[in-house]
Amino acid sequence: MTMKTRAEEMANWFEAATRDNGDAFTKTRDGAPEWVRDVIHAAHGVHDLMPDDWTYGITRAAVDWISDADDDADMEDGASDFAESEVEVYTSQLLDWLAGPLHRIELADEALEDGAEGIAHAARQAQAEEARGIFAAVVEALAGLDDEDDEDDEGAAA
């Protein structure tokens, strides 16, 4: 199974939900296979995160991006395009994101050291960096599943 096909299958396991307080979030459907959870765990593992709504949402967006990509798309080049397309537009949303896990402050500090002009610009760069890392983790996890499928096929042929 190709990465694109696996991403298309995984995309069907996500759903939008709403908490009692009205907050929308992304989750997996009941009965999702273990490999779907493994890919989600890989995405959260980029910064050793506990389950995080933003990371779930970006994981879903990455899976959707991969499933919509051309068959010959270069996923390394796609990581930056994906990340830039996912950065929050509104400063209030960026600051909410920045107030999450502490590693995000470190990412913003690094962006400031690299020349970001102000906290909003640093937060945008930090969010793009986190999105790039999550995208790369999803690509790697899906590619690993393809490798496992290839090994299973070889074992069955023997």
- Can you give the residue ranges of every domain in the chain? 3-17+33-157
Indicate the pLDDT class of residue 153, thresholds 50, 70 and 90. very low
103 Ramachandran zone, left/alpha/beta (phi>0; psi -120 to 50): alpha
Comparing C-alpha atoms, which of 80, 66, 84, 89 is closest to residue 4?
A: 66
Indicate the pLDDT class of residue 157, thresholds 50, 70 and 90. very low
At residue 128, the pLDDT reads 96
The yes-or-no verdict on residue 158 having pLDDT over 90 is no
The yes-or-no verdict on residue 149 having pLDDT over 80 is no
Indicate the pLDDT class of residue 39, thresholds 50, 70 and 90. very high
User: What's the whole-model pTM score?
Assistant: 0.88
Separation CA 49–CA 47 (nearest Å): 5
User: 3: Cβ–Cβ under 8 A, 6 or more apart, which residues?
Assistant: 66, 75, 139, 142, 143, 146
Separation CA 135–CA 81 (nearest Å): 10
